[in-house]
Amino acid sequence: MKTDGEFELVLDRLKGLTVAIVYIFEGENAEGFANYHVWKINIISGWLNAIKNLVCRPFILDVRTFAEKAFANTLPHIDFVVNLNCGSCTLSPMAIVPATCAFLGIPCIPCDCTAVLTGENKLHSNILAQASGIPVPREINPEDSRGIFRPLNWGSSRGIKVGSIRNDILGIYQEFIPGFDVTTPVVFNPCSESFAFLPSILYVPDTQDTCWFFGENAKDTKVGYSRQIIHGISDILREKYLHLLKTVNVQTYCRIDARIKSNNFDKIHSLPLAPLSEENLYFIEINTMPTISSTNSFGFSYKSVGVEDECHIYLEKLKSRYKEMDVYTFLLVSSMATLLKPSAKENRIKATPFDKCSL
């Protein structure tokens, strides 16, 4: 854990650094870059504003230009990259930005290749969640109408279908869990040097139907449901989630989606009254590259942080320094302070005299 003084010195070192925003250009026609979704200007502008709030220098370019300049050795000096390459129909191209960053030795926000290829693959993440002690819905025969199909690596609930289905899309077909959807944003706190859980969000359907789930239509239209906050997380579930984060190699922030099993809709009213627990909870997915906006799940959770939440003190420290604090600034400063490389002085290694080296 860093002292307040040590943490302030870290924040001082962020001033003036260059932060590149690498996005997917909608006109990109590479065969492997077919996208079902790309982040629009409202998302890009949020990150730009955060860079300004931290008194850093922005550099914006698309994925192809970033890769070409990287391997032609014509990029200017870059200290951090914010990876906005999203929505790829196949998973491999989503790793091109963090892979290039790894080659250049530039920290990539929010994650590296391991977290992209492991976390965004639903089959792999389900296996790792189960190994972390988190129950997952059992896989069932595709002919069984009681299941739910989830494409292997699509996000934003794209392609999710309830009931037996036949298509050529790779995915997992699992038992459908009646109950309620809940999502938990997580961010690494570089001051305490540990992960902090933001308030969880419980999705409450207007239909009062335990078979409702937060699907593609609900996400796109933003109607048919309301959101309630669950403050806190049980010690048991915390340890299981932390184990999963470590296994997936999450370094900065992510979001964990789950389903709380219940056939009784009235149970939903008691859930916000206690910390999120492992009771009747099933893992759905971990999103290592979540969409960030002021109104979606991450933004809603950020605005709901209260004195009862573990990240409250940390957030107040940041608000006292950055007057225009928002969810983008919160995640950017947390990520940069987490991934900041040691200074030359801190990284200095005492040379060992050659005659004392053992061969």
Question: Which SS3 state, helix, strand or coil, does residue 156 take?
Answer: coil
Least confident of 45-49, 66-70, 238-242, 348-352: 348-352
Give the model's pLDDT for residue 34: 65
Q: How confident is the model at residue 344 (pLDDT cuts 50, 70, 90)?
A: very low
> Which of 135, 133, 154 lies closest to 219, judged by CA?
154
Give the model's pLDDT for residue 146: 81
Average pLDDT in the 196-214 region?
95
As a whole number of angstroms, the distance between CA 171 and CA 123 comes to 8
Answer whether residue 350 is part of any domain. Answer: no
Exposure string for 99-119, b = 16+ CB within 10 A, e = fewer: bbbeeeebbbbbbbbbbbbbb
Answer whether residue 349 is part of any domain. Answer: no
DSSP, residue by residue, 193-223: TEEEEPPEEEEEETT--TT----HHHHHH--
Give the model's pLDDT for residue 223: 87
Give the model's pLDDT for residue 19: 98
As a whole number of angstroms, the distance between CA 308 and CA 193 comes to 20
Answer whether residue 242 is part of any domain. Answer: yes
Percent of the chain at pLDDT > 90 equals 70
pLDDT tens per residue across span 55-94: 999 999 999 999 999 999 999 999 999 999 887 667 888 8
Question: Which SS3 state, helix, strand or coil, does residue 62 take?
Answer: strand
Whichever domain contains 203, its CATH number is 3.30.470.20
Residue ranges making up the domain that contains 243? 4-339
Q: Which backbone phi and psi does 191 adopt, to 5 degrees?
A: -80, -50
Average pLDDT in the 233-253 region?
97
As a whole number of angstroms, the distance between CA 177 and CA 214 comes to 13
Strand partners, 359: none
Is the model more confident about 145 or about 332? 332
Is the model more confident about 170 or about 357? 170
Least confident of 133-137, 168-172, 258-262: 168-172
Answer whether residue 348 is part of any domain. Answer: no
Answer whether residue 215 is part of any domain. Answer: yes
Beta strands 200-205 and 57-62, pairing class: unpaired
Distances from the Cα of 1 to the Cαs of 6, 237, 244, 275, in angstroms?
Answer: 9, 23, 22, 25
As a whole number of angstroms, the distance between CA 216 and CA 200 comes to 20
Answer whether residue 227 is part of any domain. Answer: yes
Answer whether residue 305 is part of any domain. Answer: yes
Give the model's pLDDT for residue 40: 66
Give the model's pLDDT for residue 350: 37
Residue 356 has pLDDT above 70, yes or no: no
Residue 163 has pLDDT above 60, yes or no: yes
Residue 352 has pLDDT above 50, yes or no: no
Residue 252 has pLDDT above 60, yes or no: yes
Average pLDDT, the chain: 88
pTM reported for the whole predicted model: 0.90
Residue 124 has pLDDT above 50, yes or no: yes
Q: Contact, 196 vs 311, CB < 8 A?
A: yes
Q: Contact, 346 vs 318, CB < 8 A?
A: no
Answer whether residue 358 is part of any domain. Answer: no
Is the model more confident about 355 or about 13? 13
Question: Which ranges of the chain would DSSP assign to H, the alpha helix?
Answer: 4-14, 41-53, 63-72, 96-104, 113-119, 122-131, 216-221, 235-248, 297-303, 312-321, 327-339
Give the model's pLDDT for residue 199: 98
Count of domains in the chain? 1
What would the two tokens of residue 37 be?
A: 């979704």
pLDDT tens per residue across span 4-52: 899 999 999 999 999 999 998 766 767 666 665 666 677 889 999 999 9
Residue 289 has pLDDT above 70, yes or no: yes
